[in-house]
Structure 1
Amino acid sequence: MIGKATRKSSGQFRLRTTLVVPFVLQIITAVGLVGWIVYRSAQQSVNEVASQLRTELTSRITERLETYVSLPKAINRLNATALAQGDIDVSNPRGHYHFWQQLQLYETLSFVYCGDEQSGFLGARRLSEQDRTEIVLQFSNADTNFIRQGFVLDDRGNRTVPRGRFDKPFDPRVRPWYQAAKTAGGEAWSDIYLAFSTLFPTITASFPVYDPASNALIGVCGTDLFLPQELSMFLRNLKIGQTGTAFIMERSGRLVATSSEEAMVVGEGEASERLLATASPNATIRTTAEQLNRHFRQLNDIQSVQQLDFNLNRERQYVQVFPFQDGNLDWLVVLTIPESDFMGQIHAGRRNALWLSLGALAAAIAIGIFTSRWVAKPIQRVSQASDKLAQGELNQQVEPGLITEIDTLASSFNSMAKQLEESFAALRQSEATNRAIVTAIPDLMIRAKGDGTYLDIVGSDRLRGVHGVRRFNPGNTVQESLPPDLAELRMHYIQKALATGELQVYEQRLTMDGQAQDEEVRILVLGDNEILIMVRDITDRKQAEEALRIAEENYRSIFENALEGIFQSTPDGRYINVNPALAKIYGYDSPGEMLESVTDIGKQLYVDPEKRAEFRALLAAQDTVKDFEYRCYCKDGSIIWTQVDARAVKDNSGQILYYEGIVQDITERKRREDELKRQLEELRIEIDQNKREKEVAMLTESTYFQEVQQEMADMNLDEFWS
């Protein structure tokens, strides 16, 4: 028994120390580890965030560019169709309404036009002056000596006042946009050029138009895009971190669009030219372009998304460059994001996390010390009570505490003695009840090891006697009175159950004192090398199954060999089962052929469909039909007479499950009845004829008839009629 000594061994700790020290060590370790992880992963987080931001911005820019370049090509196809069909006539200006309407719908378009092989030109352009925007019609042809004429179009697309002066003849056939489409034989983009009126970097999408009949070139339709007007504005409005920069350049290095306000064109008039990215007044664009030239041998080597880093003014810059291509259009889109856009928040978050961690550490240590004292005291009282309970002193009372769990534990100790006594008593009663239940079961249950050693036997006393195990001493191997083959079979299934872990079920037959007994044996694995063998007497069931089998065979014999046709059919007119006699009546070679062929009895067999309805109505009303006669079709199409006796088989709720009955071929009987009727009719006619002949003979032989006949013979007819 455990004594009441309070002296601690050298390897033990107080509960208060055990609660406080690990708790404080965990907090210190967690705070230090979190701080170290935050410090080490800060740069990685920046890289991941920068990469995600660059990827997201790349997707947005790519989507905008695809939309930006797809619109001019769609407009060109519409205008080319109109030009080929004659809705637009360049040489005899007509159809400018198409161009005016397109500029009204799409503000990104600056100039829409078509030129033909006769040097004619027709188009409409958008002109912005101060706060006013106008759409101007321009055209030239042989009537104007190929000098372009300009007119302002009103809000309905009609010509109004002239606009613009042009002194030189204009031939669209020599323009780059015309030559590009003509050479490509399809959609083409021109090189970027400076529009002579605005000096804006401009690009033209052009599309050739062919005669549908001769396939000869009619002309070319084009659409101008002012790049700064749309792309640069989009890049400026795109939020690229806090101070990020985006720009687009050609493979040659010349700028196409930027997110900065700096100009992309230097010089004036004809001396104007587009800037190289390396000559941009924006330091970020210029330095990024220089880094790309250093990193890659040439810009044409960039064929996929590339990411690189460099330092600008001792600050790290994250760069992503990706190609954008559309036909012969080949640009590079570049994003540059400074590290400070991300690190400011990360540094502030790291400082806040450090101070919060230190504060949490101090608070956790103080709370841990207080909590350990508060928790340890009631637990100590419970520990002392449990020590006495272990020594057999069941009458223990522990004062309740403020902690719910400890209060519950104290209440459990206070009622432990009584509960233990009641539990032991209930356990003994439960064991006796369970054994009584098991004993009442008519099966024999044997708990055994895998080698055949019996551990326990309960169940049917009769089966115990049959198996020779009426007397049993636990732990001893029992020699049953099973024949060697059945004993070997049982061991086979025992080993199989142990190997697979699955329930094994088999049947065996014993012969005891000349009496055969059938048994079902179930073997279930209980645990490691332990099994449960359940033996059930199934002799009565086997005898019943055998009697049922014999009855079914007798019924099958009657069914197969009956001279009358026997059937079962569904109410909707499909046979469930037919015997050979029925198949023979209807001219089928076998019942299977008839079942497969006849899918609608009313339509396929009944000559008079109304008889089928009458048959079903009789069965629904009175459940049985006797001597019901009807004509039916055979397999070969011939018609026979049949007579059926049938009944409706119903379920417990009164619903008809199927019809079953007997069918006889009464064709011969019907033929004999018809023949007898005919003979009776002929006999009646013959009898009536003989009767009339006798009546005539009696009349002619009478005295009166003789006298009349004599008078008629003596009469002179000429005198009579005169």
Structure 2
Amino acid sequence: MPTRLSINLLAPVLFGVPVLAVGLWLSLAWNAQSKRAVAELAEQGIQQIHQSASTKITDVLSTPVQVCRVNEHLVASGLLPLDDLPAWRPTILRQAEAFDTLSSIAWGGADGRSAWVTRYADGSAYWALKADGDAPTMQEWRLGADGQPTDAQAKTFDFDVGQRPWFTTPRDAGGSAWSAPYVWVGGVDSSGVTLGISYGIPLYGDSGEFIGVVDADFSLNDLSEYLGRQSIGKTGVAALLSPDGRLLATSADAAVATQDGGLVRLADSDNPLLAAAGGVIEQRDGAADALVPLLDEPHYVTTSRVGDGVGLDWTLVTIVPESDFTAHIEREYSRSWLTSLIAMSLAVAIGLFAARWLVRPLNQLVTAVRRIGQGDLDTQIEVRHAPEYVNLAAEVNRMAAGLQDRMRMQKSLSLAMEVQRNLLPTDSPELPGLEIAGHSTYCDETGGDYYDFLDVSGSDQHTAVLVIGDVMGHGVAAALLMATARGILRSRSAVPGSLADFLTHLNDMLVEDTQGERFMTMLLVTVSSKTHELRWASAGHGPPMIYDPTKDTFFDLEGGGLPLGLMDGEDYEEYQLPPVGPGSVIFVATDGLEETMNARHEQFGIERLQSLVRENAAKPAEQISQTIRQAIATYRGAVSQADDLTFVVAKVLD
């Protein structure tokens, strides 16, 4: 009978059992609340991790496109002479050093002559040259730190450019193109097979004859090493897949190529985690955004397309274990169970006082975690108790502080976007006999596109000066370079000078800051509403599109210099056109318009732009601008905007 028990024994038992029950209930309640809060934070964290990786990969994939376009301009301007391939070495070596994610930059001529600079993972660089197109072999030298060959005797190997995929793919396509993965020259050794993928642009002579290909390559091994340097959560991995689900690169220690030079299917990877994820993705028709069990542990598997903006249809896969987000909570939860057992033992000895002493901090933690889960991120838990509770409170406090930091970063980006938009013109200049309309839409919070209307010292009231620029890449770095260029250009316009003078001054100023590692293109155009004369100067930017309705003709313009910020000492030229007819439309834009993709991966293209300008030339400039924006949006459909869209329309009135 209970009444026969000693009061010294019965009281601790009567108090200890309820204390144990309450302690266990509070532990379970706290665990449930914590898991809900962690689940919400994990979903946000996964999206941020995946988006960060996607942005970095997109920037890397745009590098060969930008480099090939630069070299296309350099060849057209004679700075890379086709009759003197050895003169190419300093320029393309500097490019390879500036863009260390590239493995190779090359030229292949229709006459069989070839040249390239190749960089390897250990930092070494090699220069290869085939000066005689009829010769069966090619020569290669290792380059020293000064860019000069270190070998007195060149290494030779059999080479025919007409058999290389990086050359034949754009040649046969008749336009810029990515090759399929292919085995590199010398890419088969005891360590395995080295595959590469290239982007090339075919070049044509004045008579339309094919003259060669400018090319930039990735080694899939180098692409995997780049992924391996990225942070995918704490212990997560990432992989890039081809359209048919085969591995192109991975941050995990796994092969991407078979011994015969093929690509490994994700589901057949020798890495168990990748193989398990591949099976899940194949079951879900190539897409997965869910928490799924892999190797007996829950993992967040997220997929998204990358490379749309540069003509690729790749898939980025990130695989992050749930334990990256819950490990601390699980450890602290396990400790709370131990604490509850200790509490029961103490309760048997000291009764109600000990029970209250143990239950109070658990109640405090449960309440605080609940408030955090409801959005009160200012909640701070101050527990002066056992070390386990203090550590648990500190972890929860750090969790809330981390979420606050991410929210502050988002607010900072929003503020940066507002500041950058305030740098763009709020109104178009009003000049007699001239209508002007400008527009810019960024694909991220901040972008690198820029347009402006300059008030140049010494110009008359009938002359408008149009500016449009495009910084390589997106985000805060591109926005800062854009703002710097805007400030320098506006300051220089206070002193009379030609458009070429402005670009030369701006380039010299930017090179001091960028050291040639970042660059931007720019186009300056002046339009006189009185004389109908146009002058223009370009730094790596396409010429203006000019439509004269009196002749139903688009002017065919050529010319320009290097993009701004690559190298100092560049002298730019100013070009002048004869007077255009009344009603003529001058259209300047960044490449985001032409390269807008629809759901079928087709670019909008210059022909559609010209048709829009011709069909709407009779309308006011603002209506032409609105029509172009609507046409771009309709063409893109549900596809997200991959690049900034910026353009200016000017119309010469009668």
TM-score, length-normalised on structure 2? 0.44
TM-score, length-normalised on structure 1? 0.41
Q: Which has the higher contact order (CA 8 A, sep 6+)?
A: 2
The structure with more helix, counted as a fraction of residues: 1
Larger gyration radius, structure 1 or structure 2: 1
